[in-house]
Amino acid sequence: MQYTLNIKGRLMDLSEPVVMGILNATPDSFFAGSRRQTEHEIAERANEIVAQGGGIIDVGAYSTRPGATEVPEQEEMARMRAALAVVRREQPEAAVSIDTFRPDVARMAVEEFGADIVNDVSEGEAPLMFRMVARLGVPYILMSVQPTLRETLLAFAQKVQMLRDLGQKDIILDPGFGFGKTLEQNYEMMNQLERLHVMDLPVLVGISRKSMIYRLLDMSPAEALNGTTALNTVALMKGASILRVHDVREAVECVKIVNMMNDRP
């Protein structure tokens, strides 16, 4: 798919899929191996993502796993500031996305640290988020919490139009694996993923070590890398432009293999 993102005036080419590495500045993300809280751990993870071929560092300071403790906005803001200061110091040229559903956290990250992308897991539930990202002028990841493809497409069509009316340029669609869906609905969404291209927008897939894998295979998130790799490959073959992952090297290998199959070495 021939898509680009405007990252501070530089075009990020998505004709070859990009791997987004997860950096969780939280104590309670569902995959314990992804948690980074100290300055050293955050620096190590940011450098690892880039060294392994990641094109985007996705920084989160609020766990969205089921049953996670609610984090006050000021605490999320403090965690995000601390993490971004380290990420920008270590990787000043890296594209950075902000995993938040709070408009003021997004504003702070963009205005104070030059964050490049807002990754919103709320399907735009906060009324101010659409207006905020349009004002900030950065690419926006719109995630769906709908259970079926039909409902997802209807919600995307409505909300993409709302964003366009506000002047938002770059929009990435995330079907929201693991959000508002049963295990079976997650796999049905993956099975029909290519149908999202009717929206003519890039698609992000985030299934890394999620319960749709480890519950199906009766294992823990720590054991779910092989299943993640299998589904990432399926997603790429169905046209995903961005893979959001914990395991960057393995995802980059998936991209290289699928590119070769598609005559894009």
Task: List, by residue number, the catalytic residues.
Answer: 210, 244
Beta pairing class for 56-60 and 18-24: parallel
* Phi, psi dihedral angles at 97 (to 5 degrees): -110, 155
- Euclidean distance between CA atoms 93 and 8, whole angstroms: 11
Q: What is the DSSP string of 210-240?
A: -HHHHTTTT--GGG-HHHHHHHHHHHHHTT-
- Euclidean distance between CA atoms 247 and 207, whole angstroms: 11
The H or E element that residue 140 is part of is strand 140-143
| 3-class SS of residue 108 | helix
* CA neighbor of 147 nearest in space, from 189, 91, 86: 189
127-136 and 103-113 are packed helices; what angle lies between their axes, rounded to 10 degrees?
20
